[in-house]
Amino acid sequence: MPYLFRNTSYLVMGLAAVCLLTARPMNVVFIAIDDLNTDLGCYGHEQVQTPNMDRLAKMGVQFNNAYCQQPLCGPSRVSVMSGLRPNTTDCFSLGDNIRSKRPDTLTLGQFFQDKGYYVGRVGKIYHYGNPSQIGTNGNDDKLSWQERFNPQGIDSLQEDEIIRYPGGKKGNPNKKENLGISMAWWDPVSEDEEHTDGMVASRAIEMIERN
């Protein structure tokens, strides 16, 4: 099986696992998230119950100090994936693209490809608007990947059913952008695989097993 570098996108938590050096390079799974604080059991929160995240944290390295390259999603993601500061990438806004600013940048995905890894992405790694661009490549960097998958579940397809505050009991279809910054909840009778996050997890497993 070829070496594997996998990017998956979750809305819960991101952990980077640093693998021990062995005779044969190990597979790498990179999980990226948006807008998360440390209200998790592994960070000592007494009310929030996160047993799976806590177990994952114990298996890897937990970082207790976090530093933000730029107080925006897009520039910070570009910085993480390139290893360069925003004042070097010249990416300061959500719409800035690393290839437009620095075409010759070597990204983390390209680095792994150069080392013989298969590199795939599921969901959001570089910036896309959430929820308006769910299911699209958004502001992705296609050179970083050999395979890309952009799932779109019922959380996006039935977005108007989501209750959000402010905004009333149902979403206003003319103000969908408000969902991304509101307190929102929805409890449909559904399977995990019907939702974007569930599709991400299932596809990531399939890609791992296939490669």
User: What's the Rg (C-alpha) of the chain?
Assistant: 18
Contact 28, 6 (CB under 8 A): yes
199: how many CB neighbours lie within 10 A of its CB?
A: 22
Q: What is the DSSP letter of 27?
A: P
* Total Cβ atoms within 10 A of residue 21: 6
| DSSP class of 16 | B
**Strand blocks (E) in 25-113:** 28-32
Burial of 66 (0-12, 13-18, 19+ CB in 10 A): exposed
Q: Which residues form the catalytic set? A: 73, 127
DSSP per residue, 128-151:
--TTTTTTS-TT--GGG-SEEE--
Cα–Cα distance for residue pair 14/31, rounded to 1 Å: 5
User: How many angstroms separate the CA atoms of 160 and 51, rounded?
Assistant: 31
